[in-house]
Amino acid sequence: MNTLEKFEKEHLKELQSNKNLPKFNAGDTLKVHLRVKEGEKERIQVFEGVCIAKKNAGINSSFTIRKISYGEGIEKVLPLFSPQISKIEIVKIGDVRRSKLYYLRGRSGRSARIAEKNTFNQTSEQNLSENEKESNATTKDAVEAKTETLSKNKSEETKPKQQVETNQNKKNDEK
């Protein structure tokens, strides 16, 4: 390793410790919060688009984001460790089979859409099984309560009509 590579490696560790960048790939829809300086004021501008390429080259890593604005395609190539980037958010994870999605440049509308990847973690699976147990317990209680009310209704229906009518007459008289 020469001195330049050592310097880059140390600088890369320093940059990574300062920023919490999410892991993303080509096909993911991202929101990149960029610092924009206008005169003396500084503000944050959000650029949301699809990551069409990612270049992993140590400190020189970069990614390309594409979005359609007013019918015109806009692409930005941003260095991953740029001080201009305040944060990166992943909006949705795309299901693609390529690392470079340059074919999206020639497409528009429905053909330019990327399917969302179904991410189903084991932790969410465990949560679902716990929720199912709880819901099964509550449904059992509900079913038991329903059967009790139905059995009461059936017992009233099986009484002779005269007895039901006399019960109703007594209630009316009491009023």
Cα angle 62, 65, 67; round to 5: 170
- Strand, coil or helix: 129: helix
Mean pLDDT of the chain: 81
Q: Which amino acid is at 40?
A: E
For 100, the domain range is 3-117
**What does pTM read for this prediction?**
0.64
What confidence tens digit (pLDDT) does each residue in 132-162 have?
A: 656 655 666 666 776 676 666 655 555 555 5
Examine the domain organization and report whether 88 and 146 are in the same domain. Answer: no
Examine the domain organization and report whether 109 and 150 are in the same domain. Answer: no
Mean pLDDT lowest among 61-65, 92-96, 106-110, 121-125: 121-125
Q: What is the mean pLDDT of residues 114-126?
A: 70
Number of domains in the chain: 2
Mean pLDDT lowest among 16-25, 58-67, 81-90, 125-134: 125-134
- Strand, coil or helix: 159: coil
